[in-house]
C-alpha cells in the first residue's frame, strides 16, 4: 500500500510542472505576438503613400525650375533688403554719364578742342558725377529740345539733359556773330564783344604793341600751374614779362591757373598763390581757375567726382572774390556740362572753351575761347583767340 501512494504523488507533481511550463511558454508567445504586431503597425505608418510621393516629386520639379522664375514673380523679393542688381543696358538705354577734358603734366596749356570731348566709361558714382545727365549713342533724340549734344573725336554723341535751374545765355549767335578775317565779333542791341587772346610760356616772344594794333583789348595770362603728378605749384616763367609788356601796350590783363587741386584746402592754396602773384599788377580782367582732366596719363585728380570738383572750384572762386578780384571758371563745354554741378556755380562767370562756331552751349558765359589755331601779327605760330561779352575794365 505505501509504494502505490508515493507513486501517485510523483505523477501528480510531474503533470503540474508540465502545465506551468506550457502556460509560461504561451505567455511568452503571446507577448512576442503583441510586440510583433505593434512594430508591424509602426512600419506601416512610416511607409509613404502614393499621394505623398507624387507631391514630393512635384516640389522637386519646382525647385529644379526655380532658376527660371523672375524677381517680379516672387513676393518675398519686394522685401529684400539688399539692392537689386542693375539690369543690363539695352540698345538706346539712357544712363547717367560724367566726363571731362585733359591736359599735359604741369603745362596748364589749353586743351586741344578737337580732342577734348573724349568719351569715357559711364559712371554711377558719383559721379553723383552723372546726375542730371544722359548718355545715348543714337540719333533719335538729336533734334529734340531739352538735351545738350556732345560729340567726341570718334563721332560718338552723348546727350545730356538740359538743366532748367541753370541760367541760360541770351546771345543770338546766328545773327549777331561776325567773322572778320578769322576774328569773331559779337554785337547786338545790348552789347559788343571785346577781342582777346590767352597766353602761356609756350607762345614764346610776344609783341604786344602789334597785338594792340590788331584790335586785341585783353590778354588772359597763365600765371602758374600745379603738376598733375607731383602736385607742386610752379610759376609760368613768362607771366611777369607778359604782364608788364601787355600793360605797357595798353592791353588789359587777367590771369589763369591750371588747377590740379584734389581738395578745398589745395583750392585755397592755388587761389592765394595767384592772388599774391598778380598783386603787383593792375589786373582788371578776371582771375580764372582752369579746370581740365589729363589725357593719356594718370593724374591726381582722376578720381574726383563732379560734386568734389565743384566744391574745389567754388572754394577757389570764393577765395579770389574775397580778395576783391573777379573770379571766372575756364572749362570746355564737355567739362562744364558733364564734370561740374553748374547749379552750384551759377553765381560765377564762365570762360567757355569751344571751337564749334557758333557754339551751342546753352548756359550763361561771359568769355569764349573760340579758337586755338589763330594767327596774328606779333606772335609766331598758333594762338588762342577769345572774345569777352563783358567789358571787365568798366565792371
pLDDT digits (tens, 9 = 90+) for 64-74: 333 333 333 33
- Of 118-127, 138-147, 183-192, the range with the highest mean pLDDT is 183-192
More confident residue, 392 or 6: 392
* Cα separation, 226 vs 222, whole angstroms: 12
Predicted pLDDT of residue 81 = 35
Predicted pLDDT of residue 30 = 72
pLDDT digits (tens, 9 = 90+) for 20-62: 766 666 776 777 676 566 555 554 444 444 433 433 333 333 3
Count how many residues are written for the chain.
395
pTM of the model: 0.66
Residue 89 CB-half CA count within 13 A: 10
Average pLDDT over residues 149-157: 80
| 181 CB burial (10 A radius; 0-12, 13-18, 19+) | exposed
Query: The C-alpha cell of 333 is what?
Result: 563745354
| Secondary structure of 211-273 in HEC code, one letter for each residue | HHHCCCCEEEEEEEEECCCCCCEEECCCHHHHHHHHHHCCCEEEEEEECCCCCHHHHHHHHHH
Query: The C-alpha cell of 17 is what?
Result: 510542472
pLDDT digits (tens, 9 = 90+) for 308-347: 999 999 999 999 999 999 999 999 999 999 999 999 999 9
pLDDT digits (tens, 9 = 90+) for 80-123: 333 333 333 333 333 232 333 334 444 444 443 333 333 333 33
* Cα separation, 169 vs 342, whole angstroms: 13
Predicted pLDDT of residue 311 = 98
- Mean pLDDT, the chain, rounded, equals 77
| Residue 138's pLDDT band (cuts 50, 70, 90) | very low
Amino acid at each position: 500500500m505505501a509504494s502505490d501512494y508515493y507513486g501517485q504523488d510523483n505523477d501528480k507533481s510531474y503533470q503540474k510542472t508540465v502545465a506551468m511550463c506550457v502556460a509560461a511558454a504561451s505567455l511568452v508567445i503571446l507577448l512576442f505576438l503583441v510586440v510583433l504586431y505593434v512594430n508591424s503597425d509602426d512600419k506601416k505608418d512610416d511607409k509613404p503613400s502614393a499621394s505623398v510621393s507624387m507631391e514630393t516629386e512635384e516640389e522637386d520639379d519646382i525647385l529644379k525650375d526655380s532658376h527660371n522664375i523672375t524677381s517680379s514673380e516672387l513676393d518675398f523679393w519686394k522685401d529684400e533688403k539688399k539692392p537689386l542688381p542693375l539690369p543690363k543696358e539695352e540698345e538706346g538705354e539712357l544712363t547717367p554719364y560724367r566726363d571731362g577734358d585733359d591736359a599735359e603734366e604741369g603745362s596748364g596749356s589749353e586743351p586741344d578742342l578737337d580732342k577734348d570731348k573724349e568719351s569715357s566709361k559711364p559712371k554711377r558714382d558719383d559721379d553723383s558725377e552723372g546726375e542730371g545727365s544722359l548718355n545715348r549713342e543714337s540719333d533719335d533724340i538729336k533734334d529734340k529740345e531739352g538735351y545738350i549734344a556732345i560729340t567726341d573725336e570718334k563721332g560718338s554723341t552723348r546727350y545730356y539733359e538740359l538743366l532748367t535751374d541753370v541760367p541760360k545765355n541770351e546771345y543770338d549767335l546766328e545773327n549777331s556773330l561776325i567773322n572778320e578775317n578769322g576774328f569773331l565779333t559779337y554785337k547786338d542791341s545790348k552789347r559788343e564783344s571785346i577781342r582777346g587772346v590767352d597766353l602761356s610760356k609756350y607762345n614764346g616772344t610776344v609783341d604786344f604793341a602789334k597785338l594792340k594794333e590788331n584790335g586785341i583789348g585783353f590778354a588772359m595770362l597763365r600765371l602758374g600751374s600745379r603738376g598733375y603728378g607731383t602736385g607742386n605749384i610752379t610759376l609760368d616763367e613768362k607771366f611777369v614779362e607778359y604782364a608788364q609788356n601787355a600793360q605797357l601796350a595798353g592791353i588789359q590783363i587777367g590771369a589763369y591757373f591750371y588747377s590740379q587741386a584734389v581738395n578745398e584746402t589745395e583750392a585755397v592754396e592755388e587761389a592765394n598763390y595767384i592772388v599774391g602773384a598778380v598783386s603787383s599788377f593792375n589786373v582788371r580782367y578776371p582771375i580764372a581757375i582752369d579746370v581740365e582732366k589729363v589725357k593719356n596719363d594718370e593724374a591726381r585728380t582722376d578720381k574726383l567726382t563732379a560734386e568734389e570738383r565743384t566744391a574745389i572750384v567754388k572754394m577757389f572762386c570764393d577765395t579770389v572774390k574775397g580778395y576783391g578780384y573777379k573770379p571766372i571758371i575756364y572749362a570746355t563745354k564737355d567739362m562744364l556740362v558733364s564734370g561740374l554741378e553748374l547749379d552750384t556755380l551759377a553765381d560765377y562767370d564762365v570762360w567757355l572753351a569751344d571751337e564749334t562756331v557758333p557754339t551751342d552751349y546753352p548756359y550763361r558765359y561771359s568769355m569764349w575761347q573760340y579758337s586755338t589755331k589763330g594767327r596774328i601779327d606779333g606772335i609766331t605760330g598758333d594762338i588762342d583767340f577769345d572774345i569777352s561779352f563783358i567789358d571787365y575794365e568798366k565792371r
